[in-house]
C-alpha cells in the first residue's frame, strides 16, 4: 500500500509493506522486491520516501557498513544478518535509504516474539538525507492484537 501526503514543501510517499516470509519461494520474494524497487524508483529524488515496513522478514544484524562502503545501517541491531536481511540492505543501498531503527540506542529493538525466538524484523526506512528528521524509531514493549509483533513507532 502507498499513501502520498502533500505538504507545502514536498510530497511524502509512505509505503506499507509486508515481505513474504523466509519460507516462501525465491520467486515470490523476488517478485515482491522487484515491485518495491520499481515503485520506489518512480518517486522523484527531491520527494521524501518513507517505507513503513511492519514486517520485512529479514535480519539486518548488528554491523552496518555494507560491502560497497555505503552506510544505510546506523550500527545498532539485533543478531546476525541473514539472506533476507541482505535483500533489505540491497533495497536500502539502491535507493539511498537509511534503516532508521538501527540509528538509535538498542533499547526496544526486538520486534518479533515466537516461543523462545526473539528477533528484529520490523523496520522504518527513509531517504538518507531525511534521516536527521527522525527523532527515534523503536518497538513499544506491550502486548498488541498480534502477540508476536510489538508496535513500531
The string of pLDDT tens digits covering residues 62-121 is: 765 555 565 787 877 777 778 888 898 899 999 999 988 888 766 544 444 455 555 566
> Is residue 64 in a domain?
yes
Measured distance between the N- and C-terminal CA atoms of the chain, rounded to whole angstroms: 18
Q: 111-141: per-residue pLDDT in tens?
A: 444 555 555 667 888 999 998 888 777 666 6
Number of folded domains that form the chain: 1
> Is residue 34 in a domain?
yes
pTM over 0.85: no
Contact yes or no for 89/73 (Cβ under 8 A):
yes
> Is residue 145 in a domain?
no
> Is residue 143 in a domain?
no
Domain that holds residue 117: 2-133
Q: 37-69: per-residue pLDDT in tens?
A: 999 999 998 998 888 766 777 877 776 555 556
Amino acid at each position: 500500500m502507498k499513501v502520498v501526503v502533500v505538504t507545502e514543501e514536498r510530497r511524502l510517499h509512505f509505503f506499507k509493506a509486508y515481505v513474504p516470509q523466509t519460507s516462501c519461494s525465491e520467486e515470490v520474494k523476488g517478485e515482491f522486491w522487484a515491485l518495491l524497487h520499481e515503485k520506489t524508483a518512480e518517486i522523484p529524488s527531491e520527494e521524501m520516501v518513507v517505507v513503513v515496513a511492519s514486517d520485512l522478514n529479514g535480519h539486518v544484524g548488528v554491523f552496518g557498513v555494507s560491502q560497497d562502503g555505503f552506510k544505510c545501517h546506523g550500527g545498532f541491531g539485533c543478531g546476525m544478518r541473514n539472506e533476507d536481511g541482505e535483500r533489505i540492505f540491497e533495497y536500502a543501498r539502491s535507493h539511498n535509504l537509511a534503516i532508521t531503527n538501527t540509528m538509535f540506542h538498542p533499547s526496544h529493538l526486538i520486534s518479533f516474539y515466537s516461543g523462545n525466538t526473539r528477533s528484529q524484523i520490523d523496520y522504518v526506512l527513509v531517504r538518507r538525507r531525511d534521516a536527521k528528521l527522525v527523532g527515534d524509531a523503536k518497538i513499544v514493549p506491550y502486548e498488541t492484537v498480534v502477540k508476536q509483533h510489538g508496535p513500531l513507532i
